[in-house]
Structure 1
Amino acid sequence: MSGPAPGPRPRAWLPVALAMFAIGWGVNQFVSLLVAYRRDEALSALDVSALVGVYALGLIPALLVLGPVSDARGRAPVLRVAALVSVVATAVLLLDQLWALYAGRLLAGVASGAAFAAGSAWVRELSGPAFDPTTVPGTGARRAATALSAGFGLGPLVAGLLAQWAPHPLTVAYLPHLVLAVAILVPLWRAPETVPRATAAVPLGRAVRVSSVREPRFRRLVTPVAPWVFTSATVSLAVLPGLLVDAGGAAAEYAVALNAVVAGLTLGTGVLVQPLARRLAAHDTRPAARLGTAAVLAGLLVAVGYALLPTPWLLLPAALLLGAGYGSCLVAGLLETQRVAAPHELAGLTGVFYALTYLGFAAPLVLAALTALAPYPVLLGALAGLAALTLAWTTLDRRTA
């Protein structure tokens, strides 16, 4: 392990960003197949919601442990192992057994937990002046968020379209990720390490204690907004398309393709909104956070109407709004995290941030379980009320420290 290589290497960040893109693809390719699994494998809404949620069981511990490990031992070993585990996860999903779906989703969670904290920190460091003297502040966060979101968006779009029209859909849909994930391994192994050798002497027990979580701005500005990143995305991807299937009708015949389009719109909008969010967050992340929570609120209100009358004409604008909320909240939280993190805790605090975002992956399971008490329009309305409270918090908080 070594520090930055001498001399400028302005594209050194690219293989790392591509690895994050590939791992993000592998994580989210599954969500556009939820309708196909319900149609072809007769899985219940609770089954598919649990398969979305089990991913977080692997992800959150990996984020909280392996982010700090990469601060102490290096980015390269953590991300390289994550890339290999991502390949294994997709190979397990190809077995098409219920136990294998749970195992593959759990492994995908471990891979992404290992990758996203270490990868975000690595991209930021490789985007710094030591490698690219022309870079501007915030470029690393934007590159990491864009790579992650692009993988999140293209993975389910491609997988869902293949699942709608390709033969052997629940096999063929996974093959593009296998090719992509293997292809990025060679350039990833050549990416330069950014963690100095001297940090290897830091005991791992001390490294995993991330003191930056006590920063007031992290607790006040990041913690309330972070869960909306994937709450908005998973409601759009895993909850709303299923309501169209349950309603029946002509649109249900093409529900798998529509699920893929919803995934592409949600996560594609999340990518497209990020330059605007970064400009809003140039000096203060609260304007970007307000944009994000306002978009989430608007998307959930449209979703309430859609739950009352499931139709593609309401589903698509809900996906666009929820995607805008996802992308803006992601950029706002990631930038604020990188600003307040101590230099030796960058990946560790980034891991805490991503762990908070992935609490949103529980939203589909919680909503499905609560349908025993209230219908989806009421539940989505309650979720909109929580989004309104978060928007009020980000609007009213004017403190500078």
Structure 2
Amino acid sequence: MAVATALAPRTDTRAWWAVSAAMFAIAWGGNEFTPLLVMYKQEGLPVTTVDLLLFEYVLGIVPALLIGGPLSDRYGRRPLMRPAPLIAAAGSLLLAFGSHSVPMLSVGRVLCGVALGLAMAVGSSWLKELSQAPFAPGTAQGTGARRSAMSLTGGFAVGAGVAGVLAQWAPLPDTLAYLINAALCVGAAAWVARTPETAAPQPNPTRLRDDLKVPAAGHRRFRFIVLPVALWLFTSAATAYAIMPTLMMPKVHGAPIAFSALITVITLGCGFAIQSVARRIDRPGTIRGATLALTLVTCGMVVAGANSAQLTLWLTVVTAVVLGAGYGIGLVAGLQEIERIATPADLAGLTAVFYAVSYLGFAVPAIMAALHDLRFGYPSMFTALALAAAACLALLARGRRG
């Protein structure tokens, strides 16, 4: 889809801030549940049930990603992105008042997932377009991908940190963090409503079924470079801040929720901090960023396996640092590769496929918890994950030759 240059002033170089703020608030709401996993487990919910609640927002993310991106190519970015913060606010309110109801928690998680899916597919495309001419002439290539990745990662980290601290030491531990996020999302919705459109609606749209097709997903570099990295983004993040704090619960009696929040912030903080470096590491036509990301993930899984056998604080922190760095580099490398592959007509759709695959990683904690109930040990499971990540490295060379 052609960029609608007449829809906004050429001098509006800060228009991307509102979209970034909306993505930040939505990501905050999507991840504030994570450090509270320990709290829900302490309150008596089964480990597998809580880990399934973590995964359930993927049920909202994936459809919103796959449908929202093509719909925004058809109707424009604003109609799809403007309601996203309000959907996130509704999800946070359900989580705030449904702490003792698994069905309410499930619906709240799904709504947060829908909002996050729209933010990732539509918001990322909108932010990318607002970070280039005519809205921001002279901006370096890849700036939009970096801003998108940093907005999401920053929201994930801050939301988890605030939620963990409030749940550990503030009143209304089941409620307060969610109410704060709902207020932030409402404010972001008001701000993003004034953001200029970047993609003109299609005057004679084709069938929606045709719009849902993303031909660029068959590109060789997407299949052999982007997808192998995408598979490990949230697998590594969930390992660091969902599995490790649960295993460490017997070792941190005093403040287990705050400890979970700390590990989440370390993981995502490292992912956030390294993203500005990752943009310089990655170069068009190379596999440098993807290779470094998967190398870090492989090493991180090895460290996670060692820590699951020993359960020490310092190995937990090392796991978070290494896997967080792998997540951050992989996210930027994947998004920048998509910018090079996609045309304006399928940028949102290809971004949606990338994120849909990446979020499948949140199923890993629930799968591993179920396997642990069947007497599989965490050290052996992490060893298997390390071998699988190493195998994905072999696919990168094949993609580079293409």
Tell me the TM-score normalised to structure 2 length: 0.95
Which residue in the other structure is 1:128 paired with?
Answer: 132
**Worse overlay, 136-145 or 200-209:** 200-209
Selected match of 2:34 from 31, 34, 59: 31
CA distance in 1, matches of 2:354, 2:112: 18
Contact map agreement 1:35 1:256 (CA 8 A) in 2: yes
Q: What residue is the counterpart of 1:65 in the other structure? A: 67
Greater than 6 Å deviation, 4+ residue runs: none
User: 1:179 offset after TM fit, Å?
Assistant: 2.2
1:27-86 per-residue CA deviation (whole Å, 9 max, x = no partner) reads 0000010001111x2112101110111111111111111111011111111111211100
Partner of 1:210: 214
Which of the numbers 193, 196, 200 marks the counterpart of 2:197? 193
Distance 2:31 2:316 in 1: 19
Q: What CA distance in whole angstroms lies between the structure 2 residues aligned with 1:272 and 1:199?
A: 42
Conservation of the 8 A alpha-carbon contact between 2:221 and 2:400: no
Contact 2:300 2:319 in 1 (8 A): yes
Give the % identical residues.
43
CA distance in 1, matches of 2:56, 2:202: 37
Query: Is 1:75 matched up with 2:49?
Result: no
**Counterpart of 1:360?**
361
**Counterpart AA for 1:351:** A
Q: Are 1:45 and 2:32 matched, yes or no? A: no
**Measured at CA, do residues 296 and 329 of structure 1 come closer, stay the same or move farther in structure 2, by a change above 3 Å?**
same
* Aligned 8 A contact 1:73 1:199 in 2: no
Matching of residue 241 in structure 1 with residue 242 in structure 2: no
Which residue of the partner structure matches residue 338 of structure 2? Answer: 337
Root mean square deviation, CA, Å:
1.5
Q: Is the 8 A contact 1:291 1:328 kept in 2?
A: yes
Deviation, structure 1 residue 382:
0.8
3-state SS of 1:170 partner: coil
Q: 1:33 to 1:197 in 2, by over 3 A?
A: same
Q: Report deviation, 1:2.
A: 5.8
Match of 1:115 in 2: 119
Shift of 1:200: 5.9
The separation in 2 between residues aligned to 1:365 and 1:27, in whole angstroms, is 18
Distance 2:207 2:399 in 1: 39
Shift of 1:366: 1.1
Segment drifting more, 370-379 vs 265-274: 370-379
2:133 partner letter: P
Q: In the superposition, relative to structure 1, how do residues 399 and 309 fare at CA in structure 2: closer, same or farther (>3 Å)?
A: closer
The residue that corresponds to 1:293 in the other structure is 294
**Contact 1:34–1:238, Cα closer than 8 Å, also in 2:** yes
Amino acid at match of 2:253: A
Distance 1:72 1:33 in 2: 38
Letter in 2 for 1:329: G
TM-aligned CA deviation for residue 283 of structure 1? 2.1
Equivalent residue pairs, number: 396
Distance 1:393 1:206, change over 3 A: closer
1:311 aligns with 2:315: no
Give the Å deviation of 1:392: 3.5
> Structure 2: which 5+ residue stretches go unaligned?
none
- Equivalent AA in structure 2 for residue 338 of structure 1: E
Letter in 1 for 2:71: V
Residues 72, 200 of structure 1: 8 Å contact kept: no
| 2:21 equivalent among 18, 27, 38 | 18
1:388 aligns with 2:390: yes
Q: CA deviation at 1:199?
A: 5.1
| Partners of 1:19 and 1:400 in 2: CA distance | 39
Aligned-partner residue type, residue 33 of structure 2: F
Amino acid at match of 2:39: A
Equivalent position amino acid for 1:139 in 2? T
Aligned-partner SS, 2:253: helix
The reply to whether residue 170 of structure 1 matches residue 171 of structure 2 is: no
Distance 2:301 2:10 in 1: 49
Using the alignment, how far apart are the partners of 2:357 and 2:288 within structure 1?
20
Alignment of 1:370-385 (within 5 A): 370-371=371-372, 372-385=374-387
Distance 1:389 1:362 in 2: 20
CA displacement 1:151-205 (0-9 Å, x = unmatched)? 0111001100111111221111223212211111221000001111345634322
Matched, 1:351 2:352: yes
Q: Is the 8 A contact 1:285 1:335 kept in 2?
A: no
SS in 2 for 1:146: helix
Give SS of 1:42's match.
coil
Find the aligned partners of 1:285 and 1:91 in 2 and give their Cα distance: 45
CA–CA distance in 2 between the matches of 1:379 and 1:152? 26
Q: What TM-score comes out, normalization by structure 1 length?
A: 0.95
**Would you say 1:9 and 2:12 are equivalent positions?**
yes
2:224 and 2:395 in contact (8 A); partners too: no
- Which letter does structure 2 place at the counterpart of 1:124? K
CA distance in 2, matches of 1:318, 1:199: 51
- Residue of structure 2 in register with 1:161 after alignment: 165
